[in-house]
Chains A and B, each alone.
Chain A
Amino acid sequence: MTDTTRNYDRILGNWFTGVDGDPDGYTEGCESVASWESDPERREQFAAFKDELAAHIRDSSDQPVGQRETQWLNDEWLRNLWYDLFGPEPAPDDPYPVPAEDWGHPRETPYIEYAVGHEADSTEAERAWLAQRGLTHADIQRGYSWRQQPPPDYADRLARLTAEGRRTSYDGEV
């Protein structure tokens, strides 16, 4: 997939990008997944969003905002989003899945950064989010948010996916 769809952009853009400017929107979106998946009026578009997110993770085909970062960093950000929305099962065909035991210790996703605090002050939604992922407040060890260096075969993989027409390249992507 070389372009993002309007449905994808609309959900990402109204809730999840720009998390550092609007952390509350991101957090609320993460806590709305169950209700979105059970809402007959929203179920289909959200399922399409989920499929497309998986495809962009697989093909490195969602470019970072402003192309100011590397494709790898953006892919890793999408992996965090996937975890924050859907849990530790990697996106289908994710070529570089995050080891399940890394989530929450030391890998810190935006939801963990902004919504997970002390147990004593926790909200019901926050406790439910942790429980669904098999985590507790005591488990959280804040380390890094993404693997800094891409795997050795990553540049070759990008070139191949570009040649196959599954993504569009840009200056500074590696």
Chain B
Amino acid sequence: MSKTPELIVNDLRVAVEGKEILKGLSLQVAKGEIHALMGPNGSGKSTLANTLMGHPRYEVTGGEILFKGLSILEMEADERSRAGLFMAFQYPVAIPGLSVANFLRSALNARLVRPETNGSGTMPQKKGIAPREFRALLKGQMALLKMDESFATRYLNDGFSGGEKKRAEILQMALLKPEIAIMDETDSGLDIDALRVVSDGVNALAGPDLGVLVITHYQRILNYIKPHRVHVMVDGRISVSGGPELALELETRGYDWVRNGKEVTAP
């Protein structure tokens, strides 16, 4: 069955502090699909992730990003999130004093409490999630991810180990239920434990209602996550796309092989 992919990136050009990093990148991710985006350091992978999520430092100089058929270029990060986009951070930021539970409840409520409009005017505001209901929901999700309950009372990412940070990202993803998730795992600060957390999480959440774009430098995360499509990014563009076997080929032959301009056709 063919349908319009939820995320469509067309000829995207992005500059950071005046320097062009993405130079006409195109990519499509639909719900139910897992895509892997690979590339050498400096190819612009993290720039793509941050631009998709709306980081103000990244300036879109050309092209378009459509999410569920609408351009999101003018939307702030919070609006994009509420629309159903998610990014798992490579380096999640610590917010001392803000507990994981309070943070997650605020994030959920931000989705629920917004006033909504229909043809006849403004509808009454929806109520936020009740504390008891929230606790039950959080407890359930944490159990699924094998997280200790005490985790909820800790300050967000404050003093978390690498693995704990990743777990927290997955927990957020599980609760916020995005339609498209971008996993920015570019650099390999990940130990095996953290790698497993991410891949187990993605595998647990993947399904017909979620599209995933895994951004990675190394092939090894793809030992745990089986992508439907693999894209290789070089110098701000996607230079090759293919099936899962492309990742393996990259692992043995290195990025130079793509850089040299060899074309590969997807089976």
Tell whether A pairs with B.
no
